[in-house]
Amino acid sequence: MKFPNETKPYRSARNRLLRAETALRRQVEKVAALRRKLPAGGKVPQDYVFEEGDPPRAVKLSELFGERNTVVAYSFMYGPKMEKACPMCTSMLDGLNGSAQHIAQCANLVVIAKSPIARVLEYARSRGWSNLRLLSSAGNRYNADYFGESAAGAQLPMLNVFVRRKGAIRHFYGTELLFAKTDPGQNNRHVDALWPLWNLLDFTPEGRGKDWYPKLQY
């Protein structure tokens, strides 16, 4: 390839980068394959009962599967003691709201917050989230059991995947990078793969920056 008026030093550097990008793509595919080969994890300790909808109604974890055998559950940092929702979670969910209908063709996506369902739905309306299935875990131990909150009750942005196999519901995957040691100058980046914001900024000369983070309003 050659773009208009590009220089030889640019093309040389770009070719080196292309080889690195190719290697990265192969590594991403290898990691995805390893993830898919994970055996099913532990059985869920209980059939958690969540609340959803207006008026509120109870829904069990087992009922979230429907005709699918996979449920992807994101723990949204919006607890009852939080004055405002997490800006980072909000940014990611803004994007997922647009992708939710596509995701639903392969897996069931749910967003779980600790606040009462009425508060969660009010916030969702303010953001225009019309495609996300929103649940409240205010009345169960889901957040505590699956690392959606710390032992002290602080909310955490965990993503978990559950599978239904032979009638049993098991944990399959959790974004444990959230808790892994990071390299200097990096954050945990445990859900970057599903967050268009950071991936797009990585294409720019400024990158994602060191100190910039999404806000609730601009």
Tokens found for residue 187? 């954050």
Strand partners, 145: none
Q: Please state, in angstroms and rounded to a whole number, the distance separating the CA atoms of residues 23 and 1.
A: 19
pLDDT tens, position by position, 66-104 = 999 999 999 999 999 999 999 999 999 999 999 999 999
Q: Residues 6 or more apart from 158 whose CB is under 8 A from it?
A: 74, 75, 146, 147, 148, 174, 175, 178
Q: What is the pLDDT along the chain (218 residues), one digit of tens a residue?
A: 999 999 999 999 999 999 999 999 999 999 999 999 999 899 999 999 999 999 999 999 999 999 999 999 999 999 999 999 999 999 999 999 999 999 999 999 999 999 999 999 999 999 999 999 999 999 999 999 999 999 999 999 999 999 999 999 999 999 999 999 998 888 888 999 899 999 999 999 999 887 889 999 99
Domain boundaries, the chain: 49-176
Return the CATH number of the domain spanning residue range 49-176: 3.40.30.10
Could you give the maximum distance between any two Cα atoms of the chain, in Å?
65
Spell out the residues 6+ positions from residue 60 whose beta carbon is closer than 8 angstroms to its own: 47, 48, 49, 50
For residue 81, give the nearest of 115, 40, 130, 128 by alpha carbon. Answer: 115
Please, are residues 157 and 75 in contact by the beta-carbon 8 Å criterion?
A: yes
Cis? peptide before 55, omega within 30° of 0: yes
Cβ neighbours of residue 77 under 8 Å, at least 6 residues apart? 85, 86, 88, 89, 113, 155, 156, 157
117-135 pLDDT tens trace: 999 999 999 999 999 999 9
For 130, the 3-state DSSP assignment is coil
Residue in the block written with tokens 């292309």 = 18
Instruction: Cite the DSSP H helix spans in the chain.
Output: 8-36, 87-103, 117-127, 142-145, 196-201
Cβ atoms of residues 198 and 183 within 8 Å: no
